Amino acid sequence: MNYTPNDLDNMKFKKSFRGYDEDQVNSVLDNVIQDYELYIKENIELKDRISVLNEGIQHYKNIEESLQNTLIVAQQTGEEIKKNSYEKAENIIKEAELRAQKIINDANQEVIKIRFEYEEMKKRLHLFKTKSETLILSQLELSKQLFSDDTDLE
């Protein structure tokens, strides 16, 4: 049974013919009461201190949890930024490749067009040369005939 200081203070011992000295028993009980009160106060103080320390521990656990969550969010954000950067880089590369392919296709079309124009010009030049030669030859023939007719007249 746990005694409170009041229980010990109010406790009465039976007196017997050969019993204990009442003053001595009361003195011992007074000392036990004082010690017991001291232990109770100390116990209350220790419980209060434990409560304060537990609150402090809980506070630091909350801070730790918050820091862990912040770290997780930072890692996720970093991964997301990295992923978005890779996707953006891939898009830029694809867009550049498409533009390069368009430039190559346009250049090939221009080459085909220039070759066609070149071939057309060659044909025109050949035709012009042929017509010019024909004209010159016919003029030469005509000149010969004229000169030959003139020599016949003499």
Task: Output the DSSP codes for 49-108.
Answer: HHHHHHHHHHHHHHHHHHHHHHHHHHHHHHHHHHHHHHHHHHHHHHHHHHHHHHHHHHHH
Q: Residue 79: exposed, middle, or buried by beta-carbon count in 10 A (0-12, 13-18, 19+)?
A: exposed
DSSP 107-149: HHHHHHHHHHHHHHHHHHHHHHHHHHHHHHHHHHHHHHHHHHH
Q: What pLDDT does residue 153 have?
A: 59
Q: What pLDDT does residue 154 have?
A: 59
Q: Give the chain's domain count.
A: 1
In a domain, 127, yes or no: yes
Residue 3 pLDDT greater than 80, yes or no: no
Q: Mean pLDDT across the stretch 60-83?
A: 97
Q: Mean pLDDT across the stretch 6-28?
A: 75
In a domain, 148, yes or no: no
Quickly count: other Cβ atoms within 10 Å of residue 25's Cβ: 13
In a domain, 150, yes or no: no
Token readout for 152 is 């016949």
In a domain, 146, yes or no: no
Higher-scoring residue by pLDDT: 19, 54: 54
User: What are the angstrom distances between the C-alpha of 115 and each of 110, 112, 124, 126?
Assistant: 8, 5, 14, 16
Q: Mean pLDDT across the stretch 15-42?
A: 81
In a domain, 152, yes or no: no
pLDDT digits (tens, 9 = 90+) for 101-112: 999 999 999 999
Cβ atoms of 70 and 38 within 8 Å: the answer is no
In a domain, 99, yes or no: yes
Reference 73, options 85, 63, 81; nearest CA is 81
Expressed as residue numbers, the domain containing 128 is 5-9+22-141
In a domain, 17, yes or no: no
Cβ atoms of 42 and 36 within 8 Å: the answer is no
Q: Mean pLDDT across the stretch 53-78?
A: 96
In a domain, 154, yes or no: no
Q: What is the mean pLDDT of the chain?
A: 90
